[in-house]
Amino acid sequence: MSSPGYHGGISGLLKNALDYLEVLAAEPRPYLHGKAVGCIVAAAGWQAGATSLMSLRSTVHALRGWPTALGAVVNSSAKPFDPKTRDQLSTVGRQVLDFARARVELC
């Protein structure tokens, strides 16, 4: 799940989309129950990147999802991108897959 950092938080568009998950409230697996969610934020500065990532991770928690251990911030004003950004994004993706595989093995 990814969002631009808008005024230190996630975008209203993403928040509106997530609010629609309310239709899953009464399901046996409500909201994001049991799902790993890789969280990525792009912002023009590190401060908004950090606060927006925390906000995104909190929302995933509130929806009963499991934010991966690593979340990633892309600083869109620091170009060319730091090569470490690619590693971080790969790690987030790998952690989502690892979680999904571990869950399949448990079931």
Ligand X SMILES: Cc1cc2nc3c(=O)[nH]c(=O)nc-3n(C[C@H](O)[C@H](O)[C@H](O)COP(=O)(O)O)c2cc1C
Q: Which of 4, 30, 34, 93 binds ligand X (CB under 6 A)?
A: 4
Widest distance between CA atoms in the chain: 46
How many CB atoms neighbour CB 49 within 10 A?
A: 23
Amino acid letter at 24? L
Determine, following the binding rule CB under 6 A, whether residue 5 of this chain makes contact with ligand X. Answer: yes
Q: Does 7 bind ligand X (CB under 6 A)?
A: yes
Question: Which one, 75 or 99, has the nearer CB to ligand X?
Answer: 75
From residue 100, how far is each of 3, 28, 51, 104, 105 by CA, in Å?
A: 22, 19, 27, 6, 9
Q: Site for ligand X (CB under 6 A): which residue of 13, 17, 44, 102?
A: 44
> Which residues bind to ligand X, rule: CB under 6 A?
4-8, 42-45, 48, 76
